Amino acid sequence: MSHKIFIDGEAGTTGLQIRDLLAEDARLELLQIDVAERKNPDVKKALMAEADLLVLCLHDDAARESVSMAEALPLDQQPRIIDASSAHRTAPDWVYGFAELEPSKAQAIRDAKRVSNPGCHASGAIALLAPLVKSGILPGDFPLSIHSVSGYSGGGKSMIEAYEQSRAPLFELYGLALKHKHVPEIMMHAGLSRRPIFVPSVGNFRQGMLVSIPLHLDELPARPGLVDLELCYRTHYDSERFKALGLESAVELAAATEDSRIDALATNGSNRMEVRVYGHGEHRQAVLVARFDNLGKGASRAAVQNIRMMLGH
């Protein structure tokens, strides 16, 4: 049985990669809108009504408009939806599309009518924090700082052009007013009750991402060691547990690199996320690090993982 998919906003970076990743699957028919008709609501509605699954690769306001448009269709014509924007990542009636967070999440995604695809920075932060909070190692109200560097492809068309035309700085911190839209998403899905300090940045490389979180281990109630943190991740992201659920986990615990350095680009072109624990046992300090492709597990490949789960592939 083939399924029809309409990518609303396929001309953008995320949409193009989703289309390319799905294009060779004979079980899927990709519906496309003529460039001249992209803003024609009647044409969009007709494609939505024909689709089994609607994938939104739009800015937040446009994504909300498309959801309203789809929900105005007769019930038997309404497609299931995956939204790659940040518009619905904290909405209570949407399933958060991060299957590795908990055992029940995979089935929830399979059954969902509405799935919100996680944000790139948020994916790494949540992957690092949620297992520790769930296990009780990290209190939800613990004061945290989260640092994240991304390739410039995560910044959209204007940022990509600026970097590729050598008009952008080699490295840049941003969001220093501490109002980044990923923070509520991180708090909700990591189980935090205290707002963390989130410092995002962008570097002069197209793809790749490192999210890091420093910890003073003696400030944690259980006073864990580095081994305890690793054991928590190893247990949470155990591949056999996910295979028993019919899911290939994209998140894995990896050993700390021997030279205490880590390359942001090493997982590019994959849906893999590597979680590592660095630190110094005697100093009682740790740095948690997640490495992944900001267009992979941070965007398009994560969306494709969710698409395949929703369609039973």
The token pair at 94 is 């949407």
- Phi-psi domain of 31 (left: phi exceeds 0; alpha: psi -120 through 50; beta: other): beta
The token pair at 72 is 């105005």
Cα–Cα distances (Å) from 123 to 68, 291, 313, in that order, read 27, 10, 23
Question: Dihedral, CA atoms, 149, 150, 154, 156, nearest 10 degrees?
Answer: 70
- Phi-psi domain of 242 (left: phi exceeds 0; alpha: psi -120 through 50; beta: other): alpha
Q: Residue 72 CB: number of other CB atoms within 10 A?
A: 10
Cα–Cα distances (Å) from 262 to 195, 199, 216, in that order, read 27, 19, 21
Please name which of 13, 14, 190 lies closest in space to residue 90, comparing C-alpha atoms. Answer: 190
Catalytic residue selected from 58, 99, 120, 303: 120
User: Which residue type is seen at 21?
Assistant: L
CA distance 93 to 88: 9
CA distance 100 to 88: 19
State yes or no: is 120 an active-site residue.
yes
CA distance 97 to 116: 6
The token pair at 260 is 């205490």
Give me the active site residues, please.
Answer: 120
